[in-house]
Structure 1
Amino acid sequence: MPKIVDHDQRRLELVDATWRIIARRGMEGATMRDIAVEAGFSNGALKPYFPTKDDLLTFAFRHVFNRTNQRIALSTFNQTGTTAIRALGLEVLPVDEEKVSEARIVIPFWQKAITDSHKMAIHRESMAQWRLALMRHLGEARQAGAITTGVPDDVVREQLMNLFLGAQITAALTGPEESLPSYAHQLDGFLANL
């Protein structure tokens, strides 16, 4: 009887292996062969799932975004205003090794998105969801009196997006011997200034 393979589980194992390789060697150092070995599969076992490294990177980015959104949904459940903004931010900001690894997947994806309209569409869709959530929570905070700044919400939203995305770039470029800045403190300071 042939072995039954859980294809979704296999894809996730390959993405996890990709993250580990990228964390150690960077995107250019992550070959399909090395990813297969890291996952415990033969190189040929990757082809049915990801015919090219580019396909794997696209899937990995979508997976990072989906995982981040799942964490956001859990952490912001029944939260509103600045409490929800903080919870959302802590799921995006690279405050632990898992989120630093995610940043190392996202950064090369952004580079490819510059010249690939399909990848750019994925990126824009992803960012539009975060922007929508931030605008909702900023409105809640303003209505509750927790935000009193005269800076319009759409400007505050973009400042938050720049904090989140800039932190991902910084974290991806920080070597293991360096300490990451306290992004939670930066976010708290930003929110306090509102």
Structure 2
Amino acid sequence: MPKIVDHDQRRLELVDATWRTIARLGIESATMREIALEAGFANGALKPYFPTKDDLLTFAFGHVFNRTNERIAEVTAGQSGLAALKSFCVEVLPLDEERINEARIVIPFWQKAINDPNKARIHRESMQQWLAAICQHLAEARQSGAVTTAVADSVLAGQLLNFLLGAQIAAALAPEGQMELGLKGQLEGFLALLES
């Protein structure tokens, strides 16, 4: 009787193997062969799922983005305003090994997106989704009186998103084992400025 393969599960296993391999070897040395070995598959087993490393990287970016959004939805459920905004940001910030490894997937994707219009579109649409959520939380906070700064919400949202994305780079480039980069304190400082 032929073995039944769960193709969605196999794709996720390959994505997990991809970021472990990238974290260990870097994007250029993370060959399809290395990724297959990390996942425990034969080299040719990747081709039906991801014909190229580029395809795998695009899928991995989408997976990381969706996984982050699932965490955000969990922690912001029942919250609004500044509480929801802070919870949102904490889930995006690379504050633990898992999220630092996610950053190690996102950064090579950005590098490819510079010259790949399809990847650039995927990134742009993802960030528009996050900007909309940030703006919504800011509007709720302003309506409740928690945000009083004269700076427009659209400007604040852009600043906050740039901080979150920059934190990805800082965490990925930090020396091995260093996870405390002061990111939570920087977030708290930014949120405190919203009341001035």
Q: Which runs of 5+ in 1 are unaligned?
A: none
Matches of 2:140 and 2:37, distance apart in 1: 49
2:96·2:179 contact (CA, 8 Å) conserved in 1?
no
2:113 alignment counterpart: 113
Counterpart contact for 2:92–2:164, Cα < 8 Å: yes
Displacement, 1:188? 1.0
Question: What residue is the counterpart of 2:7 in the other structure?
Answer: 7
CA distance in 1, matches of 2:36, 2:165: 30
Cα distance in 1 between the residues matched to 2:130 and 2:101: 20
Count of residue pairs brought into register by the alignment:
194
Residue aligning to 2:95: 95
Aligned to 1:34: 34
Within-5 A mapping of 1:63-102? 63-102=63-102
1:177 Cα offset (Å) = 4.9
Whole-Å separation in 2 of the counterparts to 1:13 and 1:104 = 17
The question of whether the paired residues in 2 share the 8 Å contact of 1:134 and 1:157 is answered with yes
Question: What is the aligned partner in structure 2 of residue 141 from structure 1?
Answer: 141
Q: Residues 63-120 of structure 1, C-alpha deviation per residue, up to 9 Å, x if partnerless?
A: 0000001111111111101101110001111011111000010001001111111101
After TM superposition, what 4+ stretches of structure 1 lie above 6 angstroms from structure 2?
Answer: none
Q: Distance in 1 between matches of 2:41 and 2:179?
A: 34
State TM-score, norm by structure 1: 0.98
Cα drift, residue 182 of structure 1: 2.2
Distance 1:17 1:111 in 2: 20
Check whether the contact 1:104–1:172 (CA below 8 A) recurs between aligned residues: yes
- Percent of paired sites with the same residue: 67
1:174–1:180 CA contact under 8 A, matched in 2? no
Q: CA offset at residue 179 of structure 1?
A: 4.7
TM-score under structure 2 normalisation? 0.97
Aligned-partner Cα distance in 2 for 1:177–1:4? 40
Q: Which residue of 2 aligns with 1:190?
A: 190
